């Protein structure tokens, strides 16, 4: 058998070097602030500055727009390593990709050249507005409207659960442009800018986890925007949105395995130091079995995420299945691993002196956003039944 076949299961050196570089930034300039960011529910400005200085804030943007030009796997490694230190901070590169992905998939070159370079330079962040109060999993039932008025559109309505709302400068927003059109074929995507007249934010949500990443509503009160801010063709918005999620669900899988790796690392270090009955608790078989199961599950999840990232880069026909599978499996794994990590620390796992309880709280959202894991299973089943 050719040796090259075995190379498929080892990351090339440039990815290993990238991991080491991101880990150094995360451990030295992100992790020291993670507990305070969570405790005070504040945006991690120190981490954002560190990511921008290292060009890790939006690594996916192509070089032609001033970006680092990282591929899908490299972007996942960045998100994974940042999440290992602070899940809230990992949403900076993750959501910059989520917000800009519709532009990369469908926008005109003019729109790309207007909005991608400021994000690449670290001058702006980009968020994504799809969900509404009554249109979460059922995105096609959205009520936000955009009414044509000459060469402009008038936007009215709201979007819910918007990550990094209020700190991002730009927002990809999906709105119904043809109320009488076919379901799923009557939605169009637009770019809304912070400061547009009539555009405002709801109060920050009080959340279980990822407290350093603000989550707010977007409110549109007759916001007037030019047609030159349209992303893709009129009526193609939902198709673009769903294609976007095929790619970006992979990044949520990366975030999940990063959180899980951080929890496993802390738990393994603790059980080697904690002594009971005259010896380190790591010597007890029950503890060893827990660690083995945690590590085995994590490595399976990592391989699935990396395989999905490769499919994202190639835009494979089966990306919808693998994107959903990677996100679903990795986030379920992260929830199990962080819960077991808390258990391994006992009472110490339940208090804020250690980061495990934060990681457990942060892991939960990975099972919910960018499509609940129940929805991921629907996506996978539909792909299977299509053959």
Residue ranges covered by each domain of the chain: 3-120, 126-236, 239-386
pLDDT at 1 over 50: no
Report the mean per-residue pLDDT for the chain. Answer: 96
- Can you give the pTM of this predicted structure? 0.96
| Alpha carbon distance 380, 368 (integer Å) | 16
Q: In the chain, which ranges are continuous DSSP H helix? A: 3-7, 13-25, 31-40, 45-54, 72-85, 87-106, 109-120, 237-273, 285-314, 319-345, 356-365, 373-386
Q: Same topology for domains 3-120 and 126-236, yes or no?
A: no
CA proximity to 370, closest of 143, 114, 79:
79
Q: Phi-psi region for residue 251, left (φ > 0), alpha (ψ -120 to 50) or beta?
A: alpha
The residue from 80, 132, 357, 370 that is catalytic is 370
Topology (CATH level 3) of domain 239-386: Butyryl-CoA Dehydrogenase, subunit A; domain 3 (1.20.140)
Distance between CA atoms of residues 22 and 32, nearest Å:
15
46-56: pLDDT as tens digits: 999 999 999 99
Contact 141/135 with Cβ under 8 angstroms?
Answer: yes
Question: pLDDT (tens digit, 9 = 90+) per residue, 342-370?
Answer: 999 999 999 999 999 999 999 999 999 99
pLDDT of residue 2: 52
Identify the pLDDT of residue 342: 98
Question: Is residue 27 annotated as part of the catalytic site, yes or no?
Answer: no
Does 224 have pLDDT greater than 90? yes
Could you tell me which CATH number the domain at 3-120 has?
A: 1.10.540.10
Instruction: Return the CATH fold of 126-236.
Output: Butyryl-CoA Dehydrogenase, subunit A; domain 2 (2.40.110)
């Amino acid at each position: 058998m050719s040796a090259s076949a075995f190379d498929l299961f080892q990351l090339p050196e440039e990815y290993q070097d990238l991991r080491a570089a991101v880990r150094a930034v995360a451990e030295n300039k992100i992790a020291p602030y993670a507990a305070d960011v969570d405790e005070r529910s504040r945006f991690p400005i120190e981490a954002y500055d560190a990511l921008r200085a290292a060009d890790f804030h939006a690594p996916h943007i192509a070089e032609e727009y001033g970006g680092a030009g990282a591929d899908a796997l490299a972007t996942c490694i960045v998100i994974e390593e940042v999440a290992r230190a602070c899940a809230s901070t990992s949403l900076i590169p993750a959501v910059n990709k989520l917000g800009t992905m519709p532009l990369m998939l469908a926008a005109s070159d003019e729109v790309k050249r207007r909005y991608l370079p400021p994000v690449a330079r670290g001058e702006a962040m980009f968020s994504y507005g799809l969900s509404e109060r009554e249109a979460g999993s059922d995105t096609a039932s959205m009520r936000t409207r955009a009414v044509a008025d000459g060469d402009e559109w008038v936007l009215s309505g709201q979007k819910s659960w918007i990550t990094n709302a209020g700190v991002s400068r730009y927002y990809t927003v999906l709105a119904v442009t043809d109320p009488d059109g076919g379901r799923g074929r009557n939605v169009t995507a637009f770019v809304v800018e912070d400061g547009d007249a009539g555009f405002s934010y709801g109060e920050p949500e009080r959340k279980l986890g990822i407290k350093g990443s603000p989550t707010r509503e977007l409110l549109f009160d007759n916001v007037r925007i030019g047609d030159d801010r349209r992303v893709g063709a009129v009526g193609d918005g939902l198709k673009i949105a769903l294609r976007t999620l095929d790619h970006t669900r992979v990044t949520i899988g990366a975030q999940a395995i990063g959180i899980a790796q951080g929890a496993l690392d802390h738990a393994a270090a603790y059980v080697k130091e904690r002594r009971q009955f005259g010896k380190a608790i790591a010597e007890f078989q029950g503890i060893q079995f827990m660690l083995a199961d945690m590590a085995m599950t994590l490595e399976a999840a990592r391989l699935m995420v990396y395989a999905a990232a490769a499919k994202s880069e190639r835009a494979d026909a089966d990306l919808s299945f693998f994107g959903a599978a990677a996100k679903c499996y990795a986030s379920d794994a992260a929830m199990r691993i962080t819960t077991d990590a808390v258990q391994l620390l006992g009472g110490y796992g339940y208090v804020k002196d250690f980061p495990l309880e934060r990681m457990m709280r942060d892991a939960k959202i990975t099972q919910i956003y960018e499509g609940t894991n129940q929805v991921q299973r629907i996506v996978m089943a539909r792909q299977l039944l299509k053959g």
